[in-house]
Amino acid sequence: MNRYARNLRGYGSNPPDPKWPGNARVAVQFVLNYEEGGENNILHGDAASEAFLSDIPGAAQWPSQRHWNMESMYEYGARAGFWRIHRLFTRAGIPLTIYGVASALARNPEQVEAMKDADWEIASHGLKWIEHKDMPVEEERAAIAEAIRLHTEVVGERPRGWYTGRCSENTVRLVAEEGGFDYVSDTYDDDLPYWLEIGGRDQLIIPYTLEANDMRFSVSPGWSDADDFFNYLKNAFDTLYAEGESDTPKMMSVGLHCRLVGRPGKIAALRKFIEHIKSYDDVWCPRRIEIAEHWTRHHPPHNGLQPSRMGRDAFVEHFGGIFEHSAWIAERAFELELGPAHDCAAGIHNALCRVFRSASEDERLGVLNAHPDLAGKLAQAGRLTADSTSEQAGAGLDLLTDDERQSFNGLNSAYVAKHGFPFIIAVRDHDKASILAAFHRRIDNDRQTEFKEACHQVERIARHRLGDLFS
């Protein structure tokens, strides 16, 4: 099986209505990443100092050395930035989700107590604030287990949400396989939660953000002052709120760090944004775990038809009749590179049509000749496929008068004699009168024109049938 692992489709053109509490137009969820004391540091047994997400432009790791300036910036986040953010959100009455690095939480007991007293969710941000991309699988699995153990010991209960951030390609799978998390957030690929099937179980994914995120104060391109950050957050919120009125409500994540937005000149943006969203009545500001609980309750896993995960026999059984009496098309389509993007009517239609379009002219002619005449002898004898019977009946071709039947018989015979294949039309796009009009119009075309048109109609018929199958 040639299968593509990435999911480039998601919810497609019809995302679900999240049914947020109070019919909210948008859910705005604030995350505070607590990393201070869990970052790279030789005091923590790491090989070098930290170099990521600070106000030192172009910072680089110092192997085997402490970076005093870097350390003091992280310490600012714990000593001052956290408390400034704490005052802002508790006074605003908006709860936070903490992404807490377990080793950082262990080194900051007063802040942990304040988080718990404020009834903030404390999700896991891993054991240490370090890169996971080069970790062997077993080492990362052990780090996840130790993060859960230490988190539970320090906080008093195990984390229900997980976000690594500096993750590997194995992280989401390993966390899902652990089996105890209500959600995982190591993705950035949607505006709504979704279910991901991993190792035979359904794991809820709540995507996070790296763009509506104060980290862009420390990277280029990024924010140069608070107004840049505020304007971006406001524009994102206003767009999502408008979509929530006209289309489907969504979710907006906002990512924060104590040592960044906790600075006086930066937190002004956050204060203005909170004032902006509080001027709307129909906005929900939950903790992340509340989004997970809501989604699980209102949108439980529903995998539906998943062609990209089928074996050959099941694939051909499901799709072998989409092109009339031409199972070979499904057999060849099975060999294409299929992925989650093909787990829908449009996806399988594209795969089947690729095979049909690349087939020889004789093979395509065979598909055309597999189609029955409209209101012909096979229909009268009840020998059509179930799809053809339903389609012709839907256009009223099973209820012809004697004159209409005679007219169709004459046109069928003349058309086949001239072109060498039956007249084919997607009858669901027409009624009886427009079918007859198309018959009279097309019968005088040259064969090449009609061959092309008949192939187009075959593809159109297939799309209708797949729509039925996936609905």
Q: Rounded to an integer, what distance in angstroms lies between the CA atom of residue 275 and that of residue 269?
A: 10
H-type alpha helices, 278-336 = 288-298, 312-319, 327-333
Rounded to whole angstroms, how far apart are CA atoms 204 and 185? 9
First-to-final CA distance of the chain: 26
Residue 343 phi, psi dihedral angles, 5° rounding: -85, 50
C-alpha span between 395 and 426 (Å, rounded): 10
Beta bridge partners of 213: 255
180, 174 in Cβ contact below 8 A?
no
Contact 269, 236 (CB under 8 A): no
Residue 108: other Cβ atoms inside 10 A: 24
At 322, list the tokens: 């989409």
Active site residue 151: no
Torsion 367-370-373-379 (CA) sign: negative
Token couple for 303:
């995998």
| Residues 406, 404: Cα–Cα separation, whole Å | 5
Please give the angle made by the CA atoms of 170, 172 and 177, to the nearest 5 degrees.
Answer: 95
Q: Which two tokens stand for residue 356?
A: 């049909």
Reading the block at residue 400, the tokens are 């012809």
Residue type, 92: A
Which of these is catalytic: 67, 125, 257, 371?
A: 371
C-beta of residue 233 within 8 angstroms of C-beta of residue 224: no
Active centre residues (catalytic): 371
